[in-house]
Amino acid sequence: MNEVEYIETPANNTTVSGQKSFTDDPVLDVRHATLRYIFSHPLFYFAGFLILAGGVLFGYYTSEYMVAFVISFVLLFVLYALVQKRIRDSLIQQFARSLGYDFALTGDLSGVDGALFCVGHEREMSDVISGKDSGHPTRVFCYSYTTGEGKSKQVHVFTVFERTFDSIVPHIMLHRPDGIFSDDVPIFSGGVSLTLEGDFNKHFSLEVEKDFEMEAYEIFTPDVMQELIETSKKFNFEFYRNKLYIYMPKLIDTRNELDAMFTLSKKLCFEIEPEILGMKGDVLAVKETLNKGLIHT
């Protein structure tokens, strides 16, 4: 199986795309690196002291001690969150550098497909890694969208892997029982639920576009199913048009998680790409027939 290949690069504070990094120190865990960064920079001690001192003075002169405590806590949390965001940027930048990929703080959503990107509002793409793996355009990015308004407003965050194939594939969703496809991210209409051999369906639910059941069976061979059971406890998958998406319903916080996502994607693509290329003509023929209305679904 293919493993992630890393490129040795000089220890400097820029990535291959020239984007300046927040820290030169290696970031392996966002939370730990954030605390280490704060504790190693006296400026943050001073800022924290000013916030606490301001809270004490506000409480003393107004007798609103609870209000003063809440304000101080919120300001300290905002300060921590700002540093944490920059540290997460550095984690992604450093990973991009190790792969020889480009990095950008934001990305364009116009080129993405799939069920996740049709839900909610205030959709944003950030921390984008982009490059080519075996000649195929590949990206990893953070994605967020919002549902609800006012007190019911909720922000949903994901880490997304995107791989572009040379041919179109049937629309397939492979998701864990506790995965992201729910009322907010509905399964596509007209899909067919498939039962695969062994206990695979205890771990995943599989839906495929009607009239493409055989193609799904060709993709999810016993070896692929076993690999997914062993390595994909946190991931959900979608094949759409000519792309594969791997969704993780959280922002990745560690280098190990990034390694796991890339290693899984390389192994999965290595296994299924020959099948996808082999079925290219059949998929195109069926879709053309469906578009002409010769097959009733």
Tens-place pLDDT, residues 76-121:
788 888 889 999 899 999 999 988 999 999 888 888 888 888 888 8
Hey, where are the domains in the chain? 30-99, 107-288
Give the mean model confidence (pLDDT) for residues 39-53: 77
In sequence order, which ranges of 28-150 are alpha helices (DSSP H)?
30-39, 42-62, 65-99
Looking at residue 142, its pLDDT comes to 93
What is the spatial distance between Cα 120 and Cα 158, in angstroms, rounded to a whole number?
Answer: 14
Task: Answer yes or no: are the C-beta atoms of 129 and 261 closer than 8 Å.
Answer: no
Cβ atoms 126, 106 nearer than 8 A: yes
Q: What is the pLDDT of residues 244-283, one digit of tens each?
A: 999 988 888 899 999 988 888 888 888 877 777 666 555 5
The encoded tokens of residue 54 equal 């301001």
136 or 289, higher pLDDT: 136
Residue-level pLDDT at 43: 79
| CB 189, CB 155: distance < 8 Å | no
Strand partners of residue 103: 129
Q: Cβ distance 180 to 248 under 8 Å?
A: no
Mean pLDDT over all residues of the chain?
79
Q: Residue 119 in contact with residue 141, Cβ under 8 Å?
A: no
Q: Which residue has the tokens 């000649």?
A: 135
Whether the pLDDT of residue 10 is over 50: the answer is no
